[in-house]
Chain A
């Protein structure tokens, strides 16, 4: 029973273009959403987050959009760079479950030079 889903296992984008990674969730108790980036043989590293009271958060080349009614969020990377090639995990937290993250299955992003 996956509460956080990333339906695209992989995405390939040309350098300089926009990368859009999508995430859907089913648990309406989720209050906070995060994106993590993971390189091979390393732990996930935090990228950007958004509270459920907002619909957009921007940090440099990274923007996260939240559509609560659709239970959908997306991560936009623009312009995409080869160094962005990694696995991106969407994660969610509900305030009645401590600070434990529920992760999606990840999307492998490949940015081609």
Chain B
């Protein structure tokens, strides 16, 4: 009965590959997010998405793209992976567009070799 789940938990891949991380929430929330925690442990927002709009943090390279097949899923696609993409990626969800509490998934540790 996990609220926000992510797969895989660990992902090791070579530079230049394309990979995806899946996120699912069973809370009925209408807004989902992706965050990146870098090697210095800073958590930074990458995307916010609901059925009305996608908000992109301007610092995110366009190699990263979120895809939402339905309201409960927001997958993260990464093209042409680079060494600097190695990080822990967290998915989160919340209800509404106001200042709602966000529920986070357990994270996916991506290592690019």
Residues of B within 8 A of A45 (CB): 104
Please, how many residues of chain A have a CB less than 8 angstroms from a CB on the other chain? 25
Contact with B along A80-99 (1 / 0, CB 8 A): 00000001010001010111
Known: A42-B107, A43-B92, A44-B90. A99 touches B42 (CB 8 A): no
Those of A98-112 within 8 Å (CB) of chain B: 98-103, 105-106
Please, how many residues of chain B have a CB less than 8 angstroms from a CB on the other chain? 28
Closest to B107 in A: A43
B30 to chain A, nearest CB (A): 11
Closest to B90 in A: A43
| A89 close to B55 (CB less than 8 A) | no
Residues of B within 8 A of A42 (CB): 106-107
Residues of A within 8 A of B98 (CB): 99
Binding site for B on A (CB under 8 A): 31-32, 34, 36, 41-46, 49, 51, 87, 89, 93, 95, 97-103, 105-106
